[in-house]
């Protein structure tokens, strides 16, 4: 059963809000796991370099993934979240290598996946 874009966007928005409450930041990888489009097992296989790039194990088509990713970035900007570049390195034995998100390795796509969005530090009142 495929998910419509509007259903996916609704799930992504709910997941994003939950992640902000739970962790104080949003990562697209966490969103994919929370909405059920990336299993924890596949995520770990990717982190241990058993999967060449993350998109290979995401269970939604790339057009929808790209739409979700673009929308997440737009929503974060509108919500005044701070963008933070994150480097995803492999886990396990041997030299740690930078992980790829996409088959092409396009720098813009890689950067979009690796960007986390952080709640800005708020000034607390006495």
pLDDT, tens digit, 9 for 90 and up, residues 33-78: 999 999 999 999 999 999 999 999 999 999 999 999 999 999 999 9
Distances (CA, A) of 93 to 2, 44, 49, 53, 56: 37, 14, 10, 18, 22
Confirm if 115 and 69 have CB atoms less than 8 A apart.
Answer: no
Instruction: Output phi, psi for 45, to 5 deg.
Output: -60, -40
Q: pTM of the entire structure?
A: 0.90
Residue 68 CA to residue 61 CA, distance in Å, equals 11
Distances (CA, A) of 7 to 25, 38, 45, 83, 84: 22, 16, 27, 25, 27
CA dihedral 84, 81, 3, 109 (to 10 degrees): -30
DSSP assignment, residue 26?
E
The mean of the pLDDT values for the chain is 93
Q: Could you identify the residue written with the tokens 């998100």?
A: 101
Mean pLDDT across the stretch 81-95?
Answer: 96
């Amino acid at each position: 059963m495929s998910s419509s874009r509007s259903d996916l966007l609704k799930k992504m928005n709910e997941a994003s809000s939950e992640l902000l409450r739970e962790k104080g930041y949003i990562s697209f990888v966490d969103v994919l796991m929370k909405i059920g489009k990336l299993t924890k097992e596949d995520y770990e296989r990717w982190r241990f370099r058993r999967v060449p790039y993350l998109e290979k194990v995401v269970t939604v088509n790339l057009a929808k993934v790209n739409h979700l990713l673009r929308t997440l970035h737009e929503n974060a900007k509108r919500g005044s979240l701070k963008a933070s570049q994150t480097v995803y390195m492999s886990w396990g034995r041997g030299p740690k290598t930078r992980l790829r998100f996409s088959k092409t390795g396009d720098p813009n796509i890689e950067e979009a996946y690796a960007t986390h969005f952080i709640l800005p530090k708020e000034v607390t009142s006495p």
